[in-house]
Amino acid sequence: MYEIPPNVTGFATEQIMDISKFKILCYSLQGFGLLKVVEVYEYRYPDNFYKAKVQDKEEKFYIYINYGTFVFGFSKVSDIYKLGGSFIDKPLLKEALKELDDKHSVVSANILNSEATKRNLGLLNEQEYRQVIYWYPDTIGEVLFSPCFD
């Protein structure tokens, strides 16, 4: 069972990744020849993530990172209200991100597309737990990459 890491909502601001670091990671992947960065989107309040539109040899897709947990996911969908079931695996990118910085993790599509339950929330503090329960996204991916926590 996957346990959603603490700071998923981004409330602990001292642990938030700056968007410039996300841009560096995206362009580093481009430098390795793994993809082409089409656009890195600017932060929008109250999102708990950054995202970039990219293209590899197979398809266009989006890289998401939860800026409080440093957890990545890949999706074919840009619309954050339609993320459920849209996550995909990119094994080469997963390995490259691990090599760039071992603080980052990439969650598999199987986990991201699976139903979020209270059992997945055991590591969250009371404030975060209440926020997630209040907005209660359907999937783990929708918890990790949410426009609702404020």
Question: Is 118 part of any domain?
Answer: yes
Q: DSSP label at 63?
A: E
pLDDT at 66: 96
Burial 13-24 (b: 16+ CB within 10 A, else e): eeebbeeeebee
Are the beta carbons of 83 and 91 closer than 8 angstroms?
no
Q: Using CA atoms, how far apart are residues 150 and 105, in angstroms rounded to an integer? A: 24
Give just the sign of the alpha carbon dihedral 8, 11, 16, 18: positive
Are the beta carbons of 84 and 113 closer than 8 angstroms?
yes
Question: Is 134 part of any domain?
Answer: yes
Average pLDDT estimate for 117-121 = 95
pLDDT classification of 11: cutoffs 50, 70, 90? confident
**Residue 112 belongs to what domain range?**
13-144
Into how many domains does the chain fold? Answer: 1
The pTM assigned to this predicted structure is: 0.94
Q: Which two tokens stand for residue 63?
A: 């890289």
Question: Is 4 part of any domain?
Answer: no
Question: Is 130 part of any domain?
Answer: yes
Residue at token pair 């990671």: 25
Amino acid letter, residue 77:
V
Write out pLDDT tens, residues 42-89: 998 889 999 999 999 999 999 999 999 999 999 999 988 888 889 999
Residue percentage of the chain with pLDDT more than 90: 77
Residue bearing the bigger pLDDT, 16 or 139: 139
pLDDT at 85: 86
Q: Using CA atoms, how far apart are residues 91 and 84, in angstroms rounded to an integer? A: 20
pLDDT at 98: 92
pLDDT classification of 13: cutoffs 50, 70, 90? low
Question: Is 136 part of any domain?
Answer: yes
Question: Is 87 part of any domain?
Answer: yes
Question: Is 41 part of any domain?
Answer: yes
Question: Is 7 part of any domain?
Answer: no
Across 23-27, 41-45, 100-104, the highest mean pLDDT is recorded for: 23-27
Q: Using CA atoms, how far apart are residues 128 and 122, in angstroms rounded to an integer? A: 11
Return the minimum-mean-pLDDT range out of 68-72, 90-94, 98-102.
Answer: 98-102
Above 80 in pLDDT, residue 32? yes
